Structure 1
Amino acid sequence: MLKYLIRRLVMLVPTLFLASILIFAIIQFAPGDPARMMLGTEATEQQIARERVRLGLDKPVPVRYAVWLSDVARLNLGTSQVNNQPVAKLVANAFPNTLRLALVTLTVAILIGFPLGIWSAIRQNRGADFAVTSFTALGLSIPSFWLGLLLILFFSVKLQWLPPSGVGDPNTFFLFKLEYLILPVIAIAVSNLSVFARFVRSAMIDVLASDYVRTARAKGLRESTVIIHHALRTTLLPLVTTVGIQFGSLLGGAVVTESVFAYPGIGRLIVRSILNRDYPVVQATLMFVVVIFLITNIIVDLSYAYLDPTVKLAGSH
């Protein structure tokens, strides 16, 4: 497993290099002039030219990329062109909020999605199965940001039960700020729990039709014992990958949903930076998201191999 881990970490280098080229190219060739946007419409061409020199935009794109990549390799993410703060500080302030939202959302999605999938599989082709499959289909089709807007209108504007945005006082203990997480968690968790429920249902149906489950039933074991001790364990193992991918996506920030709730996470930081043409922040946050997602995938693969010793990792022997 150690050899596999080293091999995967080495493979991160070319992957991150290609990702950096793609991210830099998309940002640099995007329409709009950051210098003109920062100075406003009343700025003269001379002022804009000086600002472009200050921002380094007068240099050729390959030179700008080489300078940026060199800085990133030394963990120097640069400075925001809008508020003049270190980009690393902005990311460090936003990521804990996204991590908190991701952990709570994933927990809720697992606690609801897994039982729904199991129940649907056990009640296959019955009313309960139809209800669960209909709910999950609806959950997957509704955009999380649109659901978020509906939740704000109902629970915040009409009923005034929950705050519509923000994270509360930063000096307050986390558990006393859960009310700020309820609406964004619901908005994001619906699609995630729908994914989990459908995967669990499909896997459980296959396992319940397998020979060893039929053998267990033929031996006279109780149905609950067959499901919990035989079917469930086999069903949940392949879902490690699905859970890991969903968690990696959540860590990348629910971009639009965080913006809807004015939630100060990675997703909202990306959106605000794009709107402000704050190139250093956009490039750094996107690279950060790529790194987080790749590392999450490695952890998922290692976890799968640890939970199932029969799995052989390529390059581990």
Structure 2
Amino acid sequence: MPRFVLRRTAQTLLVFVIITFLCYVGLYQLGNPFAAVGEKVIPPQTQAILRETFKLDRPLPVQYLNYLANLFTGDLGIDYDKRLPVFGMITDVVPNTVRLAVTAIVLQLVIGISAGVLAAVRRGSFTDALVSVSAIVAMSMPLIVIAAALRDTFAGTRVLGITLFPSLPRTIAVEVHWYDELLLPAFALALAGLAITIRLTRASMLEVLESDYVRTARSKGLPPRTVLFKHALRNAVIPLANIAAIEFGATLGGALVVETIFQYNGVGYLFVRALRSLNAPLLMAIMSYMVIAFVVLIALLDILCAYLDPRMRID
């Protein structure tokens, strides 16, 4: 097990270095982040001063190593646009994106597992067909379509004089609490990955329900509910652990679309605004931290699965 942990850690570090290096080259070496500000062209002398200020006049390996050191100390420099510390801008919106991602994953797992179990238990029935068709339809719809449809349909909805979801586009003068603006974009993200959870749960449940230990439990006269939840479901949801981690990474990527459509003040919305202005320090910092979050999560999941199932360890 220790060898597996060391090997998986080394793989994680290698993936992180390769991805961040390619992003760094693409942002800082293949383009000129100081060529212009909006429609105003910056003189070459000013560009040279800016490159020296942001330490971009050094050899590429030195630049990248300096950036890695700064990445883990939080010293990511100053935003090109607003002249604010990049690290502070990111930490201000990270809690919003974490709340969005966690809520979306919880909704996706609760709804997806429930629907998948129901379809498997009632295999071949109208309920099974309805769940399967709904999953295929949801899988076929792009996330941007789902988010835009929910926004146009439910934004500003009022029931008994109470505004369930804030109106969009949002004006600066209107204050909206985080819990008011959270549910609709989280539901959009959950719908985008719901089909995979449903289909995987259904397939896993059908396989487990035909296994020998479930037949043995039934032959002992155990109640159907005990057989379903204690013996079948516990084993059927094991494959969902890997999917949950992958879906969390996909949720972080989907947040770019959903947060922009719903004007949700998170990391994704900040990234899109930085992309519009080609704000290289902010773009690089957001991409780096998202890569760290994803590869670390996948590595921890692999280690956990290897601990639970020794067959996964490759010595």
Output one character per residue of 1:240-283: Cα deviation in whole Å (capped at 9) or x when no partner. Answer: 11112212333456111111112122212222222211111111
Give the whole-Å Cα distance in 2 for the aligned partners of 1:145 and 1:39: 27
Output one character per residue of 1:28-65: Cα deviation in whole Å (capped at 9) or x when no partner. Answer: 3555x422332643554544454455445555545533
Is the contact between residue 263 and residue 269 of structure 2 (CA under 8 Å) also seen in structure 1?
yes
Give the whole-Å Cα distance in 2 for the aligned partners of 1:224 and 1:247: 30
Give the whole-Å Cα distance in 1 for the aligned partners of 2:146 and 2:306: 37
- The correspondence of residues 39-188 of structure 1 with structure 2, limited to 5 A, is 40-41=39-40, 43-57=42-56, 61-72=60-71, 74-156=73-155, 161-163=164-166, 164=168, 177-188=178-189
Match of 1:259 in 2: 260
Secondary structure of the equivalent of 1:92?
helix
Output one character per residue of 1:166-188: Cα deviation in whole Å (capped at 9) or x when no partner. Answer: 7x99x99xxx6422112101111
Give TM-score scaled by structure 1 length.
0.84
Output one character per residue of 1:187-215: Cα deviation in whole Å (capped at 9) or x when no partner. Answer: 11102222211110011111122233233
Using a 3 Å threshold, how does the CA distance of structure 1 residues 75 and 44 change in structure 2: closer, same or farther?
closer
Identify unmatched segments of 5+ residues in structure 2. none
1:88 maps to amino acid: F
Is the contact between residue 98 and residue 253 of structure 1 (CA under 8 Å) also seen in structure 2?
no
Using a 3 Å threshold, how does the CA distance of structure 1 residues 300 and 165 change in structure 2: closer, same or farther?
farther
Match of 1:300 in 2: 301
Is the contact between residue 76 and residue 87 of structure 2 (CA under 8 Å) also seen in structure 1?
yes
Is the contact between residue 199 and residue 239 of structure 1 (CA under 8 Å) also seen in structure 2?
yes
Give the whole-Å Cα distance in 2 for the aligned partners of 1:283 and 1:43: 22
Give the whole-Å Cα distance in 1 for the aligned partners of 2:39 and 2:54: 16
2:103 maps to amino acid: V
1:225 maps to amino acid: T
Instruction: Tell me by how many angstroms 1:231 deviates.
Output: 1.3
Secondary structure of the equivalent of 1:254?
helix
Give TM-score scaled by structure 2 length.
0.84
1:20 lines up with 2:20 in the alignment: yes
State the identity %: 29
Is the contact between residue 35 and residue 48 of structure 1 (CA under 8 Å) also seen in structure 2?
yes
Identify unmatched segments of 5+ residues in structure 1. none
Indicate the larger mover: 107-116 or 221-230. 221-230
